[in-house]
Structure formats: structure tokens, C-alpha cells
A and B are shown apart, each in its own frame.
Chain A
């Protein structure tokens, strides 16, 4: 299957700082990318959907000024957690889908980024 790579795999940051997470589709053009957050023992919660070159669409309750999403190219989307606080500590996962068949039928997931804010 197609490969979606996230970087970094884990990061520890101080409270009040910002952290950027990258999501790259390595072998296909991702017209749409999704960002999820997952707390321990819970399911994935969709945070936002982004289309290349457009502003992201955030889910209800997700602060767009805190979680900045940039989908500047067909192979790269970034999530920046601004002014991180301990409650932002979570597992962040990106997903990508292509624009044409066969790459648009399923979504491909990155390996996730473990964010710990201290």
C-alpha cells in the first residue's frame, strides 16, 4: 500500500512552546489530508480536514488558532500545536487520500506522533 510518513515519531516540549508535526505522502499525491488526535484507550478523534492549497476545515470544538494546519503541497501537510499545554499531550495521527482512483478509495495513515508537553 501507499506510504504516509509522519515526523517526528515522538516529541517532548515545554509548556508554552510550539511544536510542528509533518505528514508526507511518499508515493502518491494526497489531495486531502486528515489530522486525528487519540488519547490513551480511546478512539481516533478527527480534528480537521485539509485540501491542498485550501484552508483546513476544523471539527467542532477544535481550536483552529491553536492547531494550525498547512497543506501547502500535494505531498506535505503540517500540524503546528501552538502554545502547547500538558492537556495537549496526545497521539497525533495524519491520514492522506489521493484524488483519483485507486488512491482515493482508502485513506492511508501515518505512524503517529506522540506529543508530551511538560
Chain B
């Protein structure tokens, strides 16, 4: 399983765009990149998943360069409610393929 490296913490203010970068130098050909959000005392919640280039949904964008050795989660115009831990996971999807969590990034949004 590809190991991921993320910043331990980030601070931002309401209304700003936040970009969290994840390094995964050993990503394999069949691996996808998935980001989850976790609030205290809750299970993780799926944010976005991608394989290459750019993926966008209603809450975030995911940018993946051609070499796929890193990825950036972009949260537009964050609010206080976006304060959470964000995890970048790399691995194969489907079936019994494991989901292994790294340390995650604690995002703190202030007024």
C-alpha cells in the first residue's frame, strides 16, 4: 500500500480557499486517490476520489499531476464547519482492498 504524507495541521479563515497536498511517491498503477473528512467522534465521510488530472464535485476539487506522486484537495470558500481532519488515502478500489489511513491533516477554520 502506498504511504501518504500530509501536513499535520493547517489554519485558514472563513471564505478562503484551502489546498491540502498529499504526497504518495509509491503510488501504483491501479491505485486511486481518495479523500475523507472526519469530525470529532464521528466516522470518516467521503469527499472525493480520483485517478488522474482533475475531479470536481459539489464540495471539493482534486488535482492530480501527470506523475500522480502527489495530489491536492481544494476546498473553496471554507467555513467554520469545515474544521475537521482530512485524510488522503491511496489504494485500489473495490472488493476487499484495504483502506489504510495516514496521519491526516487537522484543518482549523477561524472567523
Contacts and interface: CB of A to CB of B under 8 A. Distances in A.
Same complex origin of A and B: yes
Interface of A: 1, 4, 6, 31-32, 34, 36, 43-46, 49, 51, 57, 91, 93-95, 97, 99, 104-112, 114
B45 A43 contact: no
B101 interface: yes
9 contacts: A31-B95, A32-B96, A34-B98, A43-B102, A94-B43, A104-B95, A109-B44, A111-B43, A112-B42
A112 B49 contact: no
Contacts of A107: 46, 99
Contact of B99 (A1, A34, A57, A112): A34
Interface residues of B, number: 22
Contacts of A95: 43-44, 99
B93 A105 contact: yes
Given A34-B99, A49-B98, A112 B93 contact: no
B32 to A, nearest CB: 8
Contact of A109 (B45, B95, B96): B45
A43 B43 contact: no
B95 A97 contact: yes
A107 B43 CA distance: 11
Contacts of A4: 43
Given A43-B101, A43-B102, A104-B94, A91 B41 contact: yes
The 6 closest A-B pairs by CB, nearest first: A109-B43, A44-B101, A104-B94, A105-B93, A32-B96, A43-B101
Contacts of B46: 1, 106-108
Contacts of B103: 43
Contacts of A108: 46
B100 interface: yes
A58 to B, nearest CB: 12
A4 B43 CA distance: 10
Nearest to B87: A43
